[in-house]
Chains A and B, each alone.
Chain A
Amino acid sequence: MTEYLDEIQALSAVLFAVGAFGFLARRNIILMLVSVEVMLNAVNLSLVGFSRHFEDPRGQVLALFVIAVAAAEAGVGLGLIIALNRNKPGAGVADLTQLKG
């Protein structure tokens, strides 16, 4: 229905790739989580693009659930980061080499 489907899906793929690169390459654990948010946004774009293409609101409902899960992930992830920071100050993942607290 929309002539933009290809562009939206290409943008979604590129954004997901950028987010995956950021998650794998960054050393700061908070920026790794932010890269995950970029990836989730790419998925949302894809869902909404298909929702527009098929004229079906279910894609948008699914995107809403993705946003809810992203909020939950941010809460738990940042709680973990604060707990880690209490044991060993700093946000570098290279310092986190042992599980012992």
Chain B
Amino acid sequence: MPAVLLACVASAVLAVTRRNPVHSMLWVLVLFLNVAGIFLMLDAEFLAAVQVIVYAGAILIFYLFVMMLLDLPDEESRPRFGRHWPFAVAVGLSFAALAWSGQVEKFDPVENAVAPSAVPQIDGEPAVGLGSLENVGKALFGPFALPFEIASLVLLAAIVGAVVLARRRPAES
């Protein structure tokens, strides 16, 4: 586990600091695969598969396509960071410190649980894995059916918006 955590942090730092944008993308790919491995360790099998297929397979390739479409030959000779980058470092460090100070309070699963466990139990043991397709699907299409439909509307709006924004304007003027 610690090796994967260190690999995650290292690939994220490399991703935001590399000069070549395509190298940055490839380090983000390494980060996504590491995160998928952590999902597997946390019993989130379905989410690990979605992470690999949707994040690494679709979203990142989309970014790479646009990066290659834009044709940025002199990108490596330009400065990577704005002149204000020390302030960005300060923001990042202060956020991490803030989030860490919020971690002081331990989360006790018995006392702080907001709801009884939704996993069906057999003799005190979970009947199916926590992140199995059956379990996630029952939650997704049961109590989360309305948010699921709203997510489909969000994706539809994104598709229409992307088409409208990226469409070539007719040369009327």
> Which positions in A face B, CB cutoff 8 Å?
1-2, 4-22, 24-28, 30-31, 33-35, 37-38, 41, 44-45, 48-58, 60-61, 63-65, 67-76, 78-83, 85-86, 89-94
Q: Is B157 an interface residue (CB 8 A)?
A: yes
Q: Tell me if B's interface is mostly helix, strand, loop or mixed.
A: helix
Quick one: given A38-B12, A65-B151, A71-B58, are A57 and B118 in contact (CB under 8 Å)?
A: yes
Measured CB to CB, the closest approach of chain A to B125, in angstroms, equals: 11
Quick one: given A28-B75, A74-B59, A82-B66, are A61 and B88 in contact (CB under 8 Å)?
A: no
Give the interface residue-count category, chain B.
35 or more
B25 touches A56 (CB 8 A): no
Q: Tell me if A's interface is mostly helix, strand, loop or mixed.
A: helix
Q: Is B155 an interface residue (CB 8 A)?
A: yes
> Which positions in B face A, CB cutoff 8 Å?
1-2, 5, 8-9, 12-13, 15-16, 21, 24-25, 28, 31-32, 35, 38-39, 41-44, 46-47, 50-51, 54-55, 58-60, 62-63, 66-67, 69-70, 72, 75, 78-82, 84-85, 87-89, 91-93, 95-96, 99-100, 103, 107, 109, 113-115, 117-119, 126, 130-131, 135-136, 138-140, 143-144, 147, 151, 154-155, 157-159, 161-166, 168
